[in-house]
Amino acid sequence: MLVSILASGLAAGAIYALVGVTYNTMFSTSRVMSFTAGQLAMLGGVLGSMFTLKMGMPIIVGFVLTLAACAIVGVITEFVAVRPVLKSLDQHLYVLSTLALALMIQQIAAIKWGTEPQPFPRVFGLGSGIWDEKFWLPVVACAVTIVALEYLYRRTLVGRAFVAIAEDNFAARALGLPERNLRVASYALAGVIGGIAGFSGGQLLLAFFANGALLNFYGFVPVALGGLGNNRGAIFGGLALGLFQQAANFLVGGIFSSVAVFTLFIVVLLAAPQGLFGGTTARRV
């Protein structure tokens, strides 16, 4: 049982972690938590299944097209739901605009794709039992994404510009960085990461429109645990959440595992609103 918990827990955790990183990537350049993060991952599954199974494309082509489509949805998020409300002093507006867009994406998926979960193809066709690719694929995808992001942030000028904007948007603007373009780029990047989460987790979660809302929540928990914008925190938080959830699933049953996750989420948030991995409070006066 322990190995099953480990295998499924790490797999689910890796998906949650990737959705958490999707949240963070959008947050870093815009200070906006977007409800579209989970929907991007949902689209990763649904579009991946559509391109490869329904339209019969080769896996690699379907994968690239899925990521491209998700990147476009990310950019649409920036243009439609983020840019217009960024200037507003009213902080809650982005919650509403991204929620509206997320609902629209989910409804289109439900109507165009159907409301029943549908299968996702095998990608490599490797492994069985607890070594089935549906378990290790998300973990590998998560690891590869992290390495790629580390490379981006540490070795490229664009990546450092992201870091700079995340730390001090005003100083970055004063320095003459093309802040707006970089923000659009970060939303495209977030789309790609969300797409990877959905595609790699397709076999585990299936192609299902309602995954969007689910992943919105389960992807946000690691962000809340790890602190906004903290990718390392999101990864640890995601994996811990996956293991906790699957352990609860095996020990007390599926329904109560959601209750356990929710309770954990609320308790942690109330005890440490800034996340377990630090962060700062804004000055109020």
Q: Enumerate binding residues for another protein (CB under 8 A).
A: 33, 80-81, 84-85, 88, 90-93, 95-97, 99-101, 103-104, 107-108, 111, 157, 160-161, 163-164, 167-168, 170-178, 213-214, 216-217, 220, 224, 253-256, 258-259, 262, 265-266, 269-270, 273, 284-285
**SS3 annotation, 209-265:** CCHHHHHHHHHHHHHHHHCCCCHHHHHHHHHHHHHHHHHHHHHHCHHHHHHHHHHHH
Cβ at position 114, least distance to another protein in Å:
12
* Residues in Cβ contact with 79 at an 8 Å cutoff, skipping those fewer than 6 apart: 184
Nearer to another protein, 25 or 200 (CB): 25
Cβ at position 283, least distance to another protein in Å:
9
Nearer to another protein, 108 or 143 (CB): 108
Nearer to another protein, 54 or 173 (CB): 173
Nearer to another protein, 59 or 213 (CB): 213
Nearer to another protein, 124 or 284 (CB): 284
Cβ at position 100, least distance to another protein in Å:
4
Cβ at position 185, least distance to another protein in Å:
13
Cβ at position 149, least distance to another protein in Å:
14
